[in-house]
Amino acid sequence: MGGYKGVKRSMEIYERAGELIPGNTQLRSRLPAVEGVSPIYAERAKGSRFVDVDGNEYIDWVNAVSAIILGHHDDVVDDAVKEQIDRGSIYTVNSPKEVELAEELIDTIPSAEMVRYTKGGGEACALAARIARGATGKDIILFSGYHGWHDWYQSANYLDFPDLVTGVGPMGVPKALAGTAIPFGEFDLDRLKELLEEHRGEVAAVMLEPVRTYAPPEGYLESVIELAHDNGAVAVFDEVSCGWRIAIGGAQEYLGVTPDMTVVAKCISNGYPMGAVVGKREFMEPATEMFVSSSYWSDNIGLTASITTIRELKRRDSARRFEEIGEGIRAALEGALEDVGVQGEVVGLFNAPTLELDLPDESLRSSVNTLFTQELARRGVHGGVRFMGTLAHTEEDIRETADAAREALEVVRHGLEGGLDEMLMGEASPMAVRRIVR
Ligand SMILES: Cc1ncc(COP(=O)(O)O)c(C=O)c1O
Same domain, 307 and 220: yes
Question: Residue 433's pLDDT is what?
Answer: 46
| Strand ranges in 225-375 using DSSP code E only, listed in sequence order | 234-238, 261-265, 275-279, 344-347, 354-357
Residue 437 alpha carbon to ligand 1 centre in Å: 14
Question: Residue 169's pLDDT is what?
Answer: 81
Tell me the pTM.
0.96
Contact predicate 277/138, CB 8 Å: no
Distances (CA, A) of 280 to 112, 144, 234, 260, 286: 6, 22, 10, 6, 11
**Closest CA to ligand 1's atom 7:** 121
Contact predicate 413/91, CB 8 Å: no
> What 3-state DSSP class applies to 211?
coil
Residue 341 alpha carbon to ligand 1 centre in Å: 36
Contact predicate 358/343, CB 8 Å: yes
Same domain, 90 and 126: yes
Among residues 63, 51, 57, 70, which one has the least CA distance to residue 3?
A: 57
Burial 129-155 (b: 16+ CB within 10 A, else e): bbbbbbbbebbbbbbbbbbbbbbbbbb
How far is Cα 232 from Cα 344, in angstroms, rounded to an integer? 43
The last residue of a domain, from among 261, 287, 315: 315
The last residue of a domain, from among 291, 315, 339: 315
How far is Cα 385 from Cα 373, in angstroms, rounded to an integer? 7
Q: Does 202 reside within a domain?
A: yes
pLDDT band with cut points at 50, 70 and 90 for residue 205: very high
Q: Does 3 reside within a domain?
A: no
Question: Residue 167's pLDDT is what?
Answer: 67
Counting the structural domains of the chain, the total is 2
**Closest CA to ligand 1's atom 16:** 241
- Asked whether residue 426 carries a pLDDT value surpassing 90, the answer given is no
Question: Residue 162's pLDDT is what?
Answer: 67
Question: Residue 320's pLDDT is what?
Answer: 94
Same domain, 55 and 103: no
**Closest CA to ligand 1's atom 14:** 241
Q: Does 128 reside within a domain?
A: yes
How far is Cα 183 from Cα 140, in angstroms, rounded to an integer? 11
Contact predicate 137/165, CB 8 Å: no
Tell which atom from ligand 1 comes closest to the C-alpha of 433.
14
The pLDDT mean for the chain works out to: 94
How far is Cα 408 from Cα 373, in angstroms, rounded to an integer? 8
Domain of 42 in residue numbering reads as 8-70+317-423
> Could you count the other beta carbons within 10 Å of the beta carbon of residue 258?
18
Query: CB-based contacts of 140: which residues, under 8 Å, 6+ apart?
Result: 179, 180, 181, 182, 199, 202, 203, 204
Q: Write the CATH number for 409.
A: 3.90.1150.10
Residue 228 alpha carbon to ligand 1 centre in Å: 23
The last residue of a domain, from among 292, 315, 338: 315
The whole-number average pLDDT for the span 287-294 is 97
Per-residue pLDDT tens over the stretch 214-259:
999 999 999 999 999 999 999 999 999 887 899 999 999 999 999 9
Query: CB-based contacts of 5: which residues, under 8 Å, 6+ apart?
Result: 54, 55, 56
Tell which atom from ligand 1 comes closest to the C-alpha of 145.
1
Question: Residue 430's pLDDT is what?
Answer: 61
Contact predicate 272/244, CB 8 Å: no
Among residues 381, 382, 388, which one has the least CA distance to residue 353?
A: 388
Is residue 395 classed exposed, middle or buried when 0-12, 13-18 and 19+ CB atoms within 10 A define those classes? exposed
**Pocket-testing residue among 27, 31, 146, 212, ligand 1, by greatest number of atoms within 8 A of Cβ:** 146
Same domain, 283 and 336: no
Give the residues surrounding ligand 1 with Cβ less than 6 Å away: 65, 120-122, 125, 145-148, 209, 238, 240-241, 265
